[in-house]
Structure 1
Amino acid sequence: MNKTIVVRESYDWITGNDVTEEQYDELIRYMDAKYPNGQVLDIRYRQLRFINYVGVIQCSEVRYEIVPKISITKEDDRKALLKMLSITEFLPVSFSDKVQNGESKGELLPAFVTAFLERLLNELKRGMYKTYQPHEENLQMMRGKLELTKHIRVNTFQKTKVYCSYDEHTENNSLNQLFKAALFIVKKYANQHSLKLSLERCLSYLESVDLVDIGSLNQNSIKLNRQNERFRDATLFAKLIIERASIYSKGNQVSSFSFLFPMNVLFEKYIEVALRQVYSNDEVISQHAEKRLLRNKKSGRGNILLKPDFVVKDELILDTKWKSATVNGRSKYVQSDLYQMYAYVKTYKDVSRCILLYPKQEQEEEHPVWEIVNTDKTIEMKAVRIDDYWNTVKELEEILL
């Protein structure tokens, strides 16, 4: 029986009370193999928590769902995460209206798999992608090109056959093999009836395609072109499944895979979408990189690139920070963040406000506003709700307009 553990990023710990020692070690091994350079786990003695990343990890016996701490319940946090991923198009496929409207249970893995299957099945219904593949065979009649050397070697005593090479128009190509491998990875964990039906329908289209071991898949040979461009979203999703799949003492069967997303990047992208709801597209510049903090007197070149998250109407700078601005009932900030904002407000001459924007907590304190001495410029800390997109837009309007 597969067990699901839901934890909140940077908040809830997984301990020996939640998993067995074997399950704990399997999770550690998987994270070391697939996220070796990312700061994803905060590990203490026989306990750990996830930091900076959200999403789902499926191990052989346990499913871990990591959600952002946004609202009161973990279930609401799951739905809020799915909506954020949908709104930002952070994943290569869109979620169904049922998920976006909050009508489903909001479990992460079924939602991700549903999105993948819907997109793939829609395209398979329109027609399989076929390619011409080189093929050699000893035939009863001539087809394509005669391979003379091989023909002489193979058919010395068979005068009725001819050894030929030809191009075969086939469904058994690397793209369809990628889809089939991805489907078999998630098949074991697709327990919902609707998911099983969709998955089996996809596999029925791919019946004549070879099931290739994930270690043997040649993803570099998969090229998107005019003939298969419609499969782009499904391809990106399938690659995501394959790249995060691992095998541990399970023969050839995949025991672990994941969909994890950097929360700071997701939060920034989410705020960008909401900002463009408040302002027009040309009034919001993301990752502005045209200013330098210093000028080298000898070379005349600018040094130390400044790259604020958003410059709005050339008069406001906003930087997103995925961390709590309220800790133990007090406003908390990092001095280096303020130094960075000070550099922005001094360098961008027309900018009058620099805002550090945080996700709002259940009990948010009033945050400070600093004045730059002898100017009308300010550096401010603000927090915004992210449990609902339109609440986010409304609060951004109140903060910025």
Structure 2
Amino acid sequence: MTEDKGILIKNIYYMLTYAFQVLRQSNYEEVASEEFENIQDLFAAILAKGMAQQLKQGLYREYSGKCEELTTLRGKLDLQGTIRNRLQRRQRLTCEYDELTENNIYNQILKTTAVFLLQQPTVSPDHKKALKKVLLYLYGVDTLPPSGIQWSRISFHKNNLNYRMLLNICYFVLAGLLLTTDKGRFRMAAFLDEQRMSRLYEKFVLEYYRYHYPNLGAAASRISWNVDEDVSEFLPIMQTDITLRHQKKILILDTKYYTHTMQYRSQYDSRKFHSENLYQIFAYVKNQDSSNTGNVAGMLLYAKTQETITPDCAFTIGRNKISVKTLDLNTPFSGIVEQLDQIVESYFGIPVYTERK
């Protein structure tokens, strides 16, 4: 069973604007000013704007192999097909060639998602109208069965980088991350979806600190194992979600997005922290602070659920401060901002660095 993890619909948009900076561009200003009753309407608005912008820049095209019977040679001659034509007294050549086409997986996913959203009663008439308008320009692009899309095989490079945000929106729609909605909330579907939302949550927090606190050098950094013998090649890689640095102080943040933030032990009728999460942040901090200066701290930052008991505590282990906090996403975004700023102010003692738009 899964529970509602209450997140205001508009906060999903704000999280996306940090994860994908393209949403800060002027052509998305109308989306930012709208109020949305459900997540599908929000995604329809973003997709319509994004697809319209992509049409102005030109749809991404790829080479696709074709085999066709022609009167003149094009590309490579298919000898067997040509001989068969001659035997049938057909004066045509069978040719194999590559053609640059807009009918590729990237545009097919965009069209499939737009068609799906058009069928949803939760999408407003204005956004449906906008989607229909952009679909007119994709008449030569096929649609796909959503269950057959191999998302892991999609890659991005300089020629199609503009598609990254749009295809992430398409994934949220087609892969069932957000199934049904009530006002301001959505329902989780499965653990796989929880993983996807976890990545958005992590990316949002990282990009928030990168944008507003450039002096902290927010990054997902690697930590070397503090071992005496040269066995590091056999040890797992320690990669932090977010590392913040100011002068000699370091704060390592590990974001967690779970349906259940606490482990329930029925035999004791009690709830405990996820032990593997504590071991992980402890390993990060202790190996980063190999000299035992106490200048390195760690924080597990959970997204707040609808559970009555949520983590909120701090303690010291061998001079290093370890804290477990929750970030309430079901509050006006100004409240989220206040929570994130408080983390920096309480540990580093510095105010917000960059003005917000």
Say if 1:260 and 1:126 are closer, same or farther in 2 by CA, change over 3 A.
Answer: same
The normalised TM-score by structure 1 is 0.57
- What is residue 89 of structure 1 aligned with on the other side? 20
Correspondence 1:336-375 to 2 at 5 A: 336=275, 346-347=286-287, 348=289, 349-352=292-295, 353-358=297-302, 369-372=314-317
Correspondence 1:280-359 to 2 at 5 A: 280=214, 283-292=217-226, 295=228, 300-301=230-231, 308-313=240-245, 314-319=248-253, 320-322=255-257, 334=273, 336=275, 346-347=286-287, 348=289, 349-352=292-295, 353-358=297-302
- Does residue 206 (structure 1) correspond to residue 138 (structure 2)? The answer is yes
Q: Which amino acid aligns with 2:53?
A: N
Q: Is the 8 A contact 1:385 1:391 kept in 2?
A: no
Q: Which has the larger radius of gyration?
A: 1
Relative contact order higher in (CA < 8 Å, ≥ 6 apart): 2
Q: Which amino acid aligns with 1:80?
A: N
Say if 1:167 and 1:131 are closer, same or farther in 2 by CA, change over 3 A.
Answer: farther
- What is residue 109 of structure 1 aligned with on the other side? 40
> CA-to-partner distance for each residue in 1:49-104, whole Å, 9 max, x for gaps?
24xxxxxxxxxxxxxxx5x336xxxxxx22223322332339x9779434444x32
Say if 1:143 and 1:273 are closer, same or farther in 2 by CA, change over 3 A.
Answer: closer
- Does residue 79 (structure 1) correspond to residue 10 (structure 2)? The answer is yes
* Displacement of 1:189: 1.7
* Distance in 2, Cα, partners of 1:311 & 1:121: 37
Say if 1:321 and 1:202 are closer, same or farther in 2 by CA, change over 3 A.
Answer: closer
* Displacement of 1:381: 4.4
**CA RMSD in angstroms, aligned pairs only:** 4.8
Say if 1:335 and 1:365 are closer, same or farther in 2 by CA, change over 3 A.
Answer: closer
Structure 2: which 5+ runs fail to align? 178-188, 265-270, 350-357
Q: Which has the higher strand share?
A: 1
* Displacement of 1:213: 5.0
Q: Which has the higher helix share?
A: 2
* Distance in 2, Cα, partners of 1:341 & 1:230: 35
Q: Which amino acid aligns with 1:109?
A: Q
Of 215-224 and 235-244, the range deviating more from structure 2: 215-224
* Distance in 1, Cα, partners of 2:212 & 2:40: 32
Percentage identity across paired residues of the two chains? 19
* Distance in 2, Cα, partners of 1:309 & 1:132: 37
The normalised TM-score by structure 2 is 0.62
* Distance in 2, Cα, partners of 1:335 & 1:218: 32
Q: Which amino acid aligns with 1:193?
A: P
Say if 1:99 and 1:205 are closer, same or farther in 2 by CA, change over 3 A.
Answer: closer
Q: Is the 8 A contact 1:131 1:171 kept in 2?
A: yes
Please give the secondary structure, in 2, of the residue aligned with 1:82: helix
- What is residue 3 of structure 1 aligned with on the other side? none
